[in-house]
Structure 1
Amino acid sequence: MDMATKPSEPQVLEAKMKPNLDRLSKEGSSNAIDGLLYAMYQKLPTLTSKADGLQDVMAAAKAEKIDLNQTEDVKKIEDQTLKAFVGEVLKDHFYFVEENGRITVQPNMSYMLKNYEPYMTDSLKATIQFSEEEFEHPFYDAETQKFNLDIVAKRILLLEDNLKKYANTYYEETFKKSKEYYYQIYFGMNNEFLVDSKKFVLKEVIDHYQRTSKEYPQSQLSKDIHAYLGKLKLSHNQVTDDIQVFLTGIANVQTVDVVNDGSILKKGAK
């Protein structure tokens, strides 16, 4: 725990942790793995910053058919700065992904599950699996400036299930915050992508709400959609100030804004 909070390099912490996991209880080993994840997330901003400064060099390497996620390809990289960076990323169990034309770094959740799943509590395993799904399947397309509402809805439903299964666990709050975030996306609370210039909800979005509500009638999401559609009917599908207040109520959130490039801007609670 001391090593995780300093913070320490993930590879150093893992070298200390790995041979000792069998000596711990399931709860203890799971907490140790969570400590490794914490160290990884502590390092992520530094790696992200480095990746931002190497975009052109990484793009050139990709153009030469170099797979930045393959250890055997590292030796093919001619730029020494990039070679050292790629080695550091892979050694600490991160990997490279391309999102909207930009190469960035993400924690390798598949590695964590493959190597440490037997030592995890079910709640930590569910948390990591959810993160893996988020990393592997982006829900925003910068070119079309559209959200994949199918992905967003399925994540909300999964989070509903996780909140039931893992209530009163350490990770309950994590699932709650994720659900709040995806509610904001799904109901357009933090973006302008679901409405037209006069704030009328797009027909394709209304159709999606109706399909989702019908397909999962017992879910809380379905109940909230039904209530929302009732409110919209009164305003002829225009998002008014009163409806914004209603949405804030069902999500119970501190809002964040999604801007045109799909990034997030935090705002104060309404």
Structure 2
Amino acid sequence: MKHLPIGYIDSGFGGLTVVKESLKQLPNESIIFLGDNARCPYGSRPLSEVKHYIWQMAHFLMEKGIKMLVIACNTGTAAALDDLRFNLPIPVVGVIHPGSRAAIKATLNDKIGIIGTIGTVESHLYDEILLEKSDQIEVYAKACPDFVPIVEENRIFSEETKQLTQEYLAEFKEQGIDTLILGCTHYPLMKRVIGPIVGPEVKLIDSGAETISEVSALLDYFNLSRTVEEANLKPASHQFFTTGSAETFAEFAKTWLPIASLEVKSCRIEGEKIIEINHCES
């Protein structure tokens, strides 16, 4: 079981922010990632539909063989985490609980902002978790539905994006938050735009990066961690799949991940199943 990879699923490119942190914190572990770029974004879809998509991706990775599943998607976590945890025979980790804990630890004035997709914000899962842990917290949530398409289409540093981001985040200055949860794994890719707008006094919480600390702890708890010696005998492998264009995914991923030779395989959605079809190398 130890030798199996950790599985990561996301609606698109955003989950690569979680994978990047995994490569840093867990270099001995193999990775298999599936991005559902063909149906991205998830944020405006009904949570019941997102749950169905998450299950399709989970089945795909379970057939490949994984020892842990990470839902590297906030909307997907809100839609399917509890159901997957109950039904799958392996540990399942989402990104919302780790992000919430990190925000409570970081805040000094108990005023926490959340930005996310429509689905994540309307699920109120972040609000519930934060208020369960501290009734002193003031939570301010804002849906930013345009951010995911901006990242997927590589329009992060355009002047239009800067203007839109200022409009989305303006109310947080009035609310006086000192901590902002980036409640979508796509959003850390926009840190260089978001950070200057909210100001240096606001701590940005990358919920995806925080998740890997929890993954590490669970690997140890379930005795699933690979040691350096085991990794030397069988080096960690990194597999990437997408339901969209493998070429586009590879081009994006190689600018973000420190992997010398990155292979991306294409999948197609056939009825209730996701099926591997071909690959390209970059």
Q: Which has the higher helix share?
A: 1
Q: Which has the higher strand share?
A: 2
Q: Point out the structure with max Rg over C-alpha.
A: 1
TM-score between both structures, scaled by the size of structure 2: 0.23
Tell which has more relative contact order, 1 or 2 (C-alpha 8 A, sep 6+).
2
TM-score between both structures, scaled by the size of structure 1: 0.24
